[in-house]
Amino acid sequence: MSVATKHKSSPKSVMEQRAILGPTGNRVRVSDESKRKIEALKNPRRPKIPVSQSSQSVVQSNVSADSSFSSDSSSSNASLKTVSSEKTVKRNGVKPVKAKVAPTADKVVTEISPVTSERLKRCDWITPFSDPLYTSFHDEEWGVPVRDDRKLFELLVFSQALAELSWPTILNKRCIFRKLFDNFDPSSIAQYTEKKMLSLKVDGSLLLSEPKLRAILENAKQMLKVQREFGSFSSYCWGFVNHKPLRNGFRYARQAPVKTPKAELMSKDMMQRGFRCVGPTVVYSFMQVAGIVNDHLVTCFRYQECNANVKKDIKPKIEETERLTKDLENTCLSY
């Protein structure tokens, strides 16, 4: 018995419209309704937005944006370009001082006058973590030629104290030093009695040992003798370098010596005259700080400045020498 089988066609879930070839060949044109149905099948959770509503909202937003864009376009572009240029400048390590914005019809021109914030290069022993007082001392005093006797005596005392204290500690106690030692007047210090010396020892604010305190008193007495013999302590000290500062021109701190033949010669002569605690190392530290030798590194900005101070200091003496020579020539011609 034959049974006629009926082939049932499977119902299609989505009725897709047949693609129609356009006049350009392989381009397929699909109606908007078919596109929406295909996207709905691919993304079932995506909310369906009517074309008319979405297009209307886009048109409205475009209209509002166009109305505001015409008035604010130049100002917004200028601010954005200025901010971006400032970020670029800061990233390159240049600090902008003033920005001038010149808007034009087509573009915005931003002119920036940069000033480099370059940090001053100092000697290697001065670091960003150094005591500010020590940094100021390096920038203003260390290595500057000194020819005042009181100032030279003060620096000699500080150089002797370096055996027990550091420069930052000495500089922080500088006012105490000047108060206890009568502003480093050698004639006054030479009159100190034993009782006065013991009071300095008991005070303890200087943190110096008794031998160093006694050396200060004894050196003040010897300094008075040097003044009577050479006219000034300055003339005596500067005579070892022919009254002209020495310039070493080291590039690295490790190249700087702790003593030199000049320092050894000066130390030996001072010991023979009765000075105490004036070894070659102490004397060379004294020569450095007093500017008798310029030991600033050549990479330090103070190296050239100290040389300039030397030229200013020597110029009046040269002019005075020339004047005396001319007067002497005129005197000889008159005879």
Domain layout of the chain by residue ranges: 71-118, 132-330
- The residue among 52 and 210 whose pLDDT is bigger is 210
pLDDT in tens, 250-275: 899 888 899 999 999 999 999 999 99
- The residue among 317 and 227 whose pLDDT is bigger is 227
Q: Strand, helix or coil at 95?
A: strand
Backbone angles phi, psi at 17, to 5 degrees: -80, 140
Confidence label for 74 from pLDDT (cuts 50, 70 and 90): very low
CA angle 255, 257, 290 (to 5 degrees): 115
Pairing of strands 246-247, 293-294: parallel
Pairing of strands 94-103, 28-29: unpaired
Percent of the chain predicted with pLDDT > 90: 44
Q: How many other β-carbons are positioned within 10 Å of the β-carbon of residue 89?
A: 15
In whole angstroms, what is the distance from residue 135 CA to residue 171 CA? Answer: 11
Percent of the chain predicted with pLDDT > 70: 57
Q: Is 138 annotated as a binding residue?
A: yes
Q: Is 300 annotated as a binding residue?
A: yes
Confidence label for 106 from pLDDT (cuts 50, 70 and 90): very low
Name residues whose C-beta falls within 8 Å of residue 37's C-beta, 6 or more positions apart in sequence.
Answer: 14, 16
Tell the residue number behind the tokens 């055996």, with chain if given.
Answer: 163
Residue 329: the pLDDT is: 53
Q: Is the CATH number of domain 132-330 3.40.50.450? A: no
Residue 51: the pLDDT is: 46
pLDDT in tens, 8-47: 444 444 444 444 444 444 444 555 666 666 666 656 554 5
Q: Is 243 annotated as a binding residue?
A: no
Q: Is 332 annotated as a binding residue?
A: no
Query: Span 155-173, mean pLDDT?
Result: 95
In whole angstroms, what is the distance from residue 88 CA to residue 94 CA? Answer: 9
pTM: 0.59
Backbone angles phi, psi at 94, to 5 degrees: -115, 135
Residue 308: the pLDDT is: 75
pLDDT in tens, 179-218: 999 999 999 999 999 999 888 888 878 889 999 999 999 9
